[in-house]
C-alpha cells in the first residue's frame, strides 16, 4: 500500500504552499492585499498540514521507499520589478494544484478504506485549497494585463 | 434677509410629532431677498434634500427647502443652509493653471487642454491607455459621470477608473450585489413614517443626514414612536436617542450581527415561508451564526449579553423595520460581510419590499449613487456585469464601438490599486476630478510620495485650491452646484434635477464641458468612424437622454423621466418607466430579486478572500431571482493594539462638515462651529496620561503622527477618535489630518479602505 507515501507527499506540499504563501506575503509588503491575503492563506495551509499529520502517522507503516518530495523549482530565481508579483502568484497557483491533486488521489483511497475521519478532513481541506487557487487566479487575472501590456 | 432658525445651535429644528405624511416645514436662510428662486437639491450629503437657490443680481443670496419634495418637505440642515456660501468664496479657482519650471502658472483653456491631449496621446503611444487612470468623485452630476465613463471605457479603453466613492460607499454597492444581485436600495424614505423599529449600524445619522434624522426625531415625538437599536462604539448623537445602544469594540461588527441573527433564529422570530420561497443559503448561514451565543459575543465584543437579547427582541418582534448602515460598517474589518448581515436580517424576517420595511446601505456623498450607476467607478453603466458578454455587447451597441474596446478582461481597477499603480510607475497620468485625496486617502505620507513622483502627470479638476491641486501638473477650474445643470440620485433612489442658477466665476467650466471638450479634442471615434457619443453632446440634457437609453430595461430604469418632468415639483424615484410613470417606492415587492444569471451585476465573490466567481461558477448556483443569504465567521483585525501602540484609533465625521471641508470650511458659520480637529479620549485614559481638555496631544501610529487638542469624555476607554475632515489648506503647519495615521488596506470584496481602526499611542506635549 502506498497511501502513506501519498499522505507524505500531501503533507509536504501543504508545507511548501504554507511557506510559499508566507514568503510572498513578506516579499510583497507594498501590495497590502497580497501581504494580508497570503498571510491568511498561509495559515490555512498550516492548519491543513496539522490536520494531515495524524493520518501520516496512522498510515506510516504502509509506506514504501518512494521519495515524498516532489520539490519543484519554484521561487528560485531572484525576481524583481513588476513581473515578479505575477510570477510569484503564478508559482503559488502551481503549488495549489499539487495539493489539489494529492487530495484528489487521497480521497479515492479514503472512500475505499471507509476512513470517515480522513474523508471529513478531505472535505474541509479540499474546499479551501480550491478557494486558495480561486483567489490566486482572480488576482493573477487582475495583474496580468497591466504587467504584460503596460511598461513600468 | 431671513433665517428661520440658527441651525448651528439648533441642528435639527423644532419637533413636530406626526402620523401619516411628514408635515411640511420650510427652512430658509438668505442674506438678501432674492429676485428669483431656482430649483435644485442639496449636495452636501447623500440625503439629497430638495432646495431652492435664491438669486439676486446674478449672485446666490441664500437657500430654502422645497416644500413639495418627498425627501425633506422643506427642511434643511446646517450644511444645506450654510454651505452655499462657498460658491462665493474669494479663493475659487478661476483660470486653468499649468506647472512650468516647478511652479503653477495661469494658462488658457486651449493651452491646458492641448497639453492634456498631447500628453494622453504620447502615453497611449508609448504605454497603451492602460497607463492612464481616473480618480473621480461622489459629488458631480449623473451626466458628468456618464460622460467620463464613456470616455474612459469606450474612448480610451482603460480599466483604471474609480471614484472616491470607493472610500465611502463601495461596500453599500457590494453588499446589495451580494444579497440581491444588483445595486439599488430596496426601501423608501416613507418607510420611516410608519416603521415600528429602526436599526442603525455604524451610522451616525444625526450628524450625517441631519434632515433624515429629524424625520426620526419627529416620529419619536409622535404618538407611536419607533424603537431604535443603535450599534456604534461611540456615544454619538444618534446613540443618545437609542432604545438600546450596543457599543461593541472596534472591528467586531460581525460577531454582534451573527449573535443577533442567532437569537432571532433561536427564538423563531423568522419567516420560514419567505425564506423558503425567496432565499437560498439559510442552512449554511444558520451554521455560521450558530456558535455566536450572547455570552460568546459579550466576551469578544464587550456588548453585554442581556443588551444583545434586548436588541434581538426588538428586531425579532417588530412588524416593520428600517435598517441603515454606514461607515462604521463599511470602513471596518469584514465590511461587506457585516453589511450583508443586515440584508440577511431583513430576508430572514421577510421584511423587505413593503411599506415600513426598508434597508438603506447608506451612501455618504450626494451623488455617489450616480458614480456607481453610470460606471465612473469600478462598475459598468446601469448595473451591467463586466463578466457578462451580452451586457458588454449592449454597451458596445449604445456607444458604437467594438466590444473589446470596453475593458472587461478583468475586474475594473479599484481606487487603492490605481494609486498603487501610480506608486509603481505603471500609471503615468492620473486625472483627479472633484475630490481631494491628499486629505481623504489613508496613510497620507505614502500618497504624498506617490503624487510627487516625477513620472506621474497629474491633472486636478476642482473648484478650490486644495491639498491635492498643489501637486498637480495641470489644474482645471471647475464650476460647481448652482453654476451648472444636472441630475443626481439620493439614497432612496430619488432623482433630482439641479438647475443652473448663476454663472461660474471667471473662466471656470462645468466638469461636463471639460470632459466633452476632451472627448472632442482627442477625436475619439466609433467603429464606423463617426465621433464618439460624448463628442456629439451639446448640453447635459443630451447626455441625460443618452443615459435614459442606457438604463432601459435595467433595474435603474430612467426612461420615464425627463428634465421637464423632474422640474415639475418633487424628485422621482427610479425605476421610472412606462409601467411606473411616477417612479417606484419599493423594489422587490414580489420577492423576486435581480439575481438571475442574465440580469445580475456580478457573479459573486468568496466573501472571505474576495475571489470573484465566474459565469460557470454562477451557472451551478443561479438562484433565479431568489436572494442570497451569506455569512462569514469573525476575523481578527489586521492591526490590534499592543505594547508599543496600546490604543485603538477610530475616525469619523462631524455634523458641520462635509468631506475634506473644501466647501464647508469656506462657510464662516460652519467653520466657526467646528474650526479645528481634535482627539477625543476617555476620562480614564486622559487621567492615566495626565491629559486635560485642551492639552495638545501627539497621536502616533506606525505610519505617521498628528498633534491634536484633547477633548475628554463620551467615548469608551481604550479608544480615541479623530474627525477626518481636517487637512492643511487653511491651516498649514501642525500635522492634523487623521489619515496621517490610518492603514493602507481594504475589504477583500468591496475594496473599501479600513479607516475605522488603527493602533496608536498618545503623549501629552507641552504647547
Ligand atoms: S441633510 Fe444632507 S442634503 Fe439635507 S440639507 Fe443637510 S447636508 Fe443637505
Q: Tell me how far CA of residue B374 lies from CA of B44, B185, B381, in angstroms.
A: 20, 16, 4
Ligand 1 contacts CB of residue B650 (under 6 A): no
Measured CA to CA, the distance from residue B721 to residue B739 in angstroms comes to: 12
If you average pLDDT over each of A61-75, B200-214, B364-378, which comes out highest? B200-214
> Are A150 and B426 within 8 A, CB to CB?
yes
CA distance B218 to chain A (A): 45
* Predicted local confidence at residue B343, as pLDDT: 95
The answer to whether residues B236 and B333 belong to one domain is yes
CATH of the domain at B403: 3.40.50.740
* Predicted local confidence at residue A20, as pLDDT: 93
Q: Is the pLDDT of residue B506 over 70?
A: yes
Ligand 1 contacts CB of residue B664 (under 6 A): no
Domain that holds residue A106: 3-55+81-149
> Are A138 and B612 within 8 A, CB to CB?
yes
> Do the domain assignments include residue A17?
yes
CA distance A112 to chain B (A): 28
- The shortest CB-CB distance from A32 to any of B421, B426, B745 is to B745
* Predicted local confidence at residue B755, as pLDDT: 75
* Predicted local confidence at residue B633, as pLDDT: 86
Stretch B53-82: mean pLDDT, rounded? 95
The answer to whether residues B311 and B329 belong to one domain is yes
For the stretch B345-384, pLDDT in tens is 999 999 999 999 999 998 878 888 898 899 888 789 999 9
Contacts of residue B418, Cβ cutoff 8 Å, sequence gap at least 6: B133, B135, B160, B162, B427, B430
Average pLDDT, chain B: 92
The answer to whether residues B731 and B685 belong to one domain is yes
Task: Find which of B157, B334, B409, B410 to mutate to test the A interface (most A CBs within 10 Å of its CB).
Answer: B410
Q: Is the pLDDT of residue B753 over 90?
A: no
For residue B414, what is the nearest residue in chain A, using CA coordinates?
A142
> Do the domain assignments include residue A45?
yes
> Given pLDDT bands bounded at 50, 70 and 90, which one contains residue B535?
very high
The answer to whether residues B549 and B438 belong to one domain is yes
Residues of chain B with pLDDT > 90, as a percent, come to 70
> Given pLDDT bands bounded at 50, 70 and 90, which one contains residue A114?
confident
Stretch B191-210: mean pLDDT, rounded? 93
**Nearest CA to A84 among B556, B59, B424?**
B424
- The shortest CB-CB distance from B128 to any of A36, A40, A150 is to A150
The answer to whether residues B402 and B533 belong to one domain is yes
* Predicted local confidence at residue A74, as pLDDT: 65
> Do the domain assignments include residue A75?
no
Q: Is the pLDDT of residue A59 over 60?
A: yes
Q: Is the pLDDT of residue B228 over 60?
A: yes
* Ligand 1 centre distance from Cα of residue B41 (Å): 9
For the stretch A83-97, pLDDT in tens is 889 999 999 999 999
> Do the domain assignments include residue B547?
yes
* Predicted local confidence at residue A77, as pLDDT: 61
* Predicted local confidence at residue B552, as pLDDT: 96
The answer to whether residues B753 and B652 belong to one domain is yes
Q: Are A21 and A45 in contact (CB under 8 A)?
A: yes
For the stretch B677-694, pLDDT in tens is 899 999 999 999 999 999
Stretch B450-470: mean pLDDT, rounded? 92
> Do the domain assignments include residue B602?
yes
Measured CA to CA, the distance from residue B484 to residue B510 in angstroms comes to: 6
Q: Which residue has the cell 457590494?
A: B174
* Ligand 1 centre distance from Cα of residue B653 (Å): 14
CATH of the domain at B761: 2.40.40.20
> Do the domain assignments include residue A76?
no
* Predicted local confidence at residue A113, as pLDDT: 84
* Predicted local confidence at residue A68, as pLDDT: 55
> Do the domain assignments include residue A72?
no
* Predicted local confidence at residue A11, as pLDDT: 92
Contacts of residue B370, Cβ cutoff 8 Å, sequence gap at least 6: B140, B141, B142, B145, B376, B487, B488, B489
> Do the domain assignments include residue B703?
yes
The answer to whether residues B232 and B123 belong to one domain is no
> Do the domain assignments include residue A93?
yes
CATH of the domain at B175: 3.40.228.10
For the stretch B572-623, pLDDT in tens is 999 999 999 999 999 999 999 999 999 999 998 888 898 889 899 899 888 9
Domain count, chain B: 3
> Do the domain assignments include residue A126?
yes
The answer to whether residues B127 and B176 belong to one domain is no
Q: Is the pLDDT of residue B737 over 90?
A: no
Point out the least confidently predicted range of B283-292, B668-677, B701-710.
B668-677
> Do the domain assignments include residue B157?
yes
The answer to whether residues B162 and B240 belong to one domain is no
Ligand 1 contacts CB of residue B64 (under 6 A): no
Domain boundary among B526, B553, B580: B553
CATH of the domain at A48: 1.20.1260
* Predicted local confidence at residue A70, as pLDDT: 53
> Do the domain assignments include residue A33?
yes
Ligand 1 contacts CB of residue B491 (under 6 A): no
Domain count, chain A: 1
Give one DSSP letter per residue of B580-611, joined into a string.
-TT--S-S-TTS--S-STTT-S---B-TTT-P
Stretch A29-42: mean pLDDT, rounded? 91
Q: Is the pLDDT of residue A67 over 70?
A: no
Q: How far apart are the first and last CA of chain A?
A: 53
* Predicted local confidence at residue A71, as pLDDT: 54
Point out the least confidently predicted range of B120-134, B191-205, B320-334, B608-622.
B320-334
The answer to whether residues B341 and B384 belong to one domain is no
Q: Are B134 and B152 in contact (CB under 8 A)?
A: yes
Q: Is the pLDDT of residue B103 over 90?
A: yes
> Are A82 and B424 within 8 A, CB to CB?
yes
Q: CA triplet A138, A143, A144: central angle to 5 degrees?
A: 100
Look at ligand 1, atom 8, and give the residue with the nearest C-alpha: B80
The answer to whether residues B425 and B319 belong to one domain is no
Q: Where does B350-495 have alpha helices with state H?
A: 368-374, 389-399, 415-424, 437-440, 444-451
Measured CA to CA, the distance from residue B77 to residue B64 in angstroms comes to: 11
Look at ligand 1, atom 6, and give the residue with the nearest C-alpha: B77
Q: Is the pLDDT of residue B330 over 80?
A: no
Domain that holds residue B721: 647-765
Amino acid at each position: 500500500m502506498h497511501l502513506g507515501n501519498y499522505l507524505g507527499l500531501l503533507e509536504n506540499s501543504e508545507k511548501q504552499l504554507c511557506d510559499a504563501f508566507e514568503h510572498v506575503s513578506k516579499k510583497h509588503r507594498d501590495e497590502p492585499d497580497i501581504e494580508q491575503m497570503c498571510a491568511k492563506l498561509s495559515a490555512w495551509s498550516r492548519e491543513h498540514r496539522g490536520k494531515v499529520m495524524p493520518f501520516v502517522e496512522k498510515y506510516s507503516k504502509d509506506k514504501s521507499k518512494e521519495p515524498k518530495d516532489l520539490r519543484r523549482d519554484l521561487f528560485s530565481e531572484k525576481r524583481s520589478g513588476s513581473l515578479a508579483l505575477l510570477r510569484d502568484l503564478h508559482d503559488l497557483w502551481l503549488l495549489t494544484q499539487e495539493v489539489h491533486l494529492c487530495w484528489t488521489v487521497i480521497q479515492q483511497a479514503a472512500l475505499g478504506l471507509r476512513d470517515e475521519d480522513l474523508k471529513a478532513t478531505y472535505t474541509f481541506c479540499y474546499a479551501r485549497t480550491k478557494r486558495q487557487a480561486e483567489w490566486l487566479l482572480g488576482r493573477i487575472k487582475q495583474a496580468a494585463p497591466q504587467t504584460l501590456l503596460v511598461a513600468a | 434677509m431671513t433665517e428661520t432658525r440658527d441651525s448651528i445651535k439648533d441642528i435639527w429644528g423644532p419637533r413636530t410629532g406626526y402620523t401619516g405624511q411628514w408635515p411640511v416645514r420650510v427652512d430658509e436662510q438668505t442674506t438678501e431677498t432674492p429676485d428669483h428662486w431656482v430649483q435644485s437639491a442639496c449636495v452636501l450629503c447623500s440625503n439629497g434634500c430638495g432646495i431652492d437657490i435664491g438669486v439676486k443680481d446674478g449672485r446666490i443670496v441664500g437657500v430654502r427647502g422645497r416644500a413639495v419634495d418627498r425627501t425633506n418637505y422643506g427642511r434643511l440642515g446646517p450644511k444645506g443652509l450654510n454651505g452655499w456660501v462657498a460658491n462665493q468664496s474669494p479663493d475659487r479657482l478661476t483660470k486653468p493653471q499649468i506647472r512650468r519650471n516647478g511652479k503653477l502658472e495661469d494658462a488658457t483653456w486651449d493651452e491646458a487642454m492641448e497639453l492634456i491631449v498631447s500628453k494622453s496621446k504620447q502615453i497611449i503611444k508609448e504605454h497603451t491607455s492602460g497607463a492612464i487612470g481616473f480618480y473621480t468623485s461622489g459629488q458631480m452630476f449623473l451626466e458628468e459621470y456618464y460622460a467620463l465613463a464613456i470616455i474612459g471605457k469606450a474612448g480610451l479603453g482603460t480599466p483604471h477608473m474609480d471614484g472616491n466613492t470607493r472610500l465611502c460607499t463601495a461596500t453599500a454597492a457590494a453588499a446589495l450585489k451580494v444579497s440581491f444581485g444588483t445595486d439599488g436600495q430596496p426601501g423608501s424614505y416613507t418607510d420611516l413614517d410608519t416603521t415600528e423599529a429602526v436599526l442603525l449600524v455604524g451610522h451616525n445619522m444625526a450628524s450625517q443626514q441631519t434632515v433624515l434624522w429629524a424625520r426620526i426625531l419627529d416620529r419619536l415625538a409622535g404618538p407611536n414612536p419607533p424603537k431604535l437599536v443603535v450599534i456604534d462604539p461611540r456615544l454619538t448623537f444618534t446613540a443618545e436617542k437609542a432604545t438600546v445602544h450596543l457599543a461593541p469594540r472596534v472591528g467586531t461588527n460581525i460577531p454582534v450581527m451573527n449573535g443577533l441573527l442567532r437569537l432571532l433564529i433561536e427564538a423563531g422570530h423568522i419567516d420560514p415561508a419567505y425564506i423558503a420561497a425567496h432565499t437560498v443559503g439559510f442552512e449554511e448561514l444558520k451554521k455560521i451564526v450558530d456558535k455566536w451565543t450572547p455570552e460568546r459575543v459579550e466576551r469578544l465584543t464587550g456588548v453585554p449579553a442581556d443588551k444583545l437579547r434586548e436588541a434581538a427582541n426588538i428586531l425579532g418582534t417588530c412588524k416593520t423595520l428600517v435598517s441603515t448602515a454606514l461607515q462604521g460598517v463599511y470602513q471596518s474589518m469584514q465590511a461587506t460581510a457585516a453589511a450583508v448581515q443586515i440584508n440577511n436580517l431583513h430576508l430572514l424576517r421577510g421584511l423587505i419590499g413593503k411599506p415600513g420595511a426598508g434597508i438603506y446601505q447608506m451612501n455618504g456623498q450626494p451623488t455617489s449613487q450616480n458614480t456607481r450607476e453610470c460606471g465612473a467607478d469600478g462598475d459598468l453603466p446601469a448595473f451591467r456585469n463586466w463578466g457578462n458578454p451580452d451586457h458588454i455587447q449592449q454597451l458596445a451597441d449604445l456607444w458604437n464601438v467594438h466590444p473589446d474596446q470596453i475593458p472587461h478582461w478583468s475586474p475594473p481597477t479599484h481606487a487603492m490599486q490605481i494609486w498603487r499603480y501610480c506608486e509603481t510607475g505603471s500609471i503615468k497620468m492620473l486625472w483627479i476630478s472633484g475630490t481631494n485625496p491628499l486629505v481623504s486617502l489613508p496613510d497620507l505620507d505614502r500618497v504624498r510620495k506617490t503624487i510627487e513622483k516625477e513620472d506621474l502627470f497629474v491633472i486636478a479638476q476642482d473648484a478650490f485650491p486644495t491639498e491635492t491641486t498643489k501637486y498637480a501638473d495641470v489644474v482645471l477650474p471647475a464650476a460647481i452646484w448652482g453654476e451648472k445643470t444636472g441630475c443626481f440620485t439620493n439614497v432612496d433612489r430619488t432623482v433630482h434635477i439641479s438647475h443652473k442658477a448663476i454663472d461660474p466665476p471667471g473662466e471656470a467650466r462645468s466638469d461636463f464641458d471639460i470632459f466633452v471638450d476632451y472627448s472632442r479634442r482627442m477625436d475619439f471615434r466609433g467603429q464606423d468612424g463617426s465621433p464618439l457619443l460624448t463628442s456629439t453632446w451639446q448640453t447635459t440634457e443630451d447626455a441625460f437622454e443618452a443615459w435614459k437609453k442606457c438604463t432601459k430595461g435595467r433595474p435603474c430604469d430612467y426612461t420615464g423621466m425627463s428634465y421637464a418632468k423632474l422640474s415639475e415639483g418633487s424628485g422621482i424615484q427610479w425605476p421610472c418607466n412606462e409601467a411606473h410613470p411616477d417612479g417606484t417606492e419599493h423594489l422587490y415587492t414580489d420577492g423576486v430579486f435581480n439575481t438571475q444569471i442574465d440580469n445580475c451585476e456580478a457573479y459573486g465573490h468568496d466573501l472571505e478572500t474576495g475571489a470573484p466567481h465566474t459565469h460557470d461558477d454562477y451557472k451551478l448556483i443561479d438562484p433565479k431571482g431568489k436572494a442570497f443569504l451569506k455569512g462569514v465567521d469573525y476575523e481578527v483585525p489586521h492591526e490590534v493594539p499592543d505594547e508599543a501602540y496600546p490604543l485603538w484609533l477610530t475616525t469619523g465625521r462631524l455634523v458641520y462638515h462635509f468631506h475634506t471641508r473644501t466647501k464647508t470650511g469656506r462657510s464662516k458659520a460652519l467653520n466657526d462651529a467646528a474650526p479645528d480637529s481634535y482627539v477625543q479620549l476617555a476620562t480614564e485614559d486622559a487621567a492615566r496620561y495626565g491629559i486635560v481638555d485642551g492639552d495638545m496631544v501627539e497621536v502616533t501610529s506606525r505610519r505617521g503622527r498628528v498633534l491634536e487638542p484633547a477633548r475628554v469624555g463620551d467615548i469608551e476607554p481604550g479608544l480615541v477618535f479623530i474627525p477626518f475632515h481636517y487637512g492643511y489648506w487653511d491651516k498649514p503647519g501642525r500635522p492634523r489630518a487623521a489619515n496621517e495615521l490610518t492603514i493602507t488596506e481594504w475589504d477583500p470584496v468591496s475594496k473599501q479602505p479600513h479607516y475605522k481602526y488603527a493602533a496608536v499611542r498618545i503623549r501629552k506635549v507641552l504647547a
